[in-house]
Structure 1
Amino acid sequence: MDWLGDNAWAVWLGLGVTLGVAELFSLDLILLMLAAGALVGMVAGLLSAPVVVQILVAAATSVAMLALVRPSLVKRLHTGPELKLGHSRLVGKQGVVLQEITGIAAGRVRVAEEDWTALPYDDTLTIAAGETVEVLEIRGATAYVHPVLRLES
């Protein structure tokens, strides 16, 4: 029993490694938080703290990790990046007018290296070829665009 009191850090290390390996099978992040507590208990053991203090420190760390760290990690892991697929990825992008666009006659724009049939979002506008436009909406195969204002120098 004397060895266990002198080498409690080794027990904490073994517990931490065991919980870490078990986490690989559960993937709930609960055992990982408990392993972190065990490793903090190991540090307390290396600093020659009494066993009761080691247990309290390990328990407090585990509870803190479960309450403070785990929720944000779970949220981050369960919500991936927002992917814009299809035509919606072009909304907000800028392009160049290839053929004049009016409210009456559709023109052509090049957006993201693709040519699109385009109409002005405001059907009272006429947008000349060479102008820079922003795509505000895609309906079917038509991009609804608005000219980007340029500051004159």
Structure 2
Amino acid sequence: MNHKASLLLFCLAASLVGIGCGHGFKLVTPDGFVELEDQEEYAYRATTAQGVVMSVRVEPNRPRGNLSFWTDAIDLKLRNIGYTAAEARDVKTKSGAVGKQLRYTRTIYDRPHIFWLTVFVTDADVFVLETGGDAREFDKAKDEIGKAIEGFVPG
């Protein structure tokens, strides 16, 4: 697996303090995270000082699929490249958006890592909120990450 594929799974996303950043979504940046600038592969990306990374990818819903299709496609790809599925759960945000969260583990450089991918689908777009990092550091940030996901508003 290449470095870019690893980074894809190392992330989830946030927009600036509740303000959409022009990419068709709104998400409050969690406390303890800072925005990374000039992120060509992401609509938004942020990190903690300890390396827990969050991002949002927005892709056209083409071919037009529903939430089940896109989560199945993502899950199959991740399992095929060595991620271990830990859990899948339904998600509903405060705005009423319905999504699916896929949780994975993987050992990187002999250290356990945690990855959450939360998928939301509209007629026009697929939003993948990605977050991940070293398990010890991720555990410290997971409550703030959960709050950010609960506040997500897809465009």
Q: TM-score, normalised by structure 1?
A: 0.24
Greater relative contact order (Cα 8 A, min sep 6): structure 1 or 2? 2
The structure with the larger Rg is: 1
More strand by share: 2
More helix by share: 1
Q: TM-score, normalised by structure 2?
A: 0.24
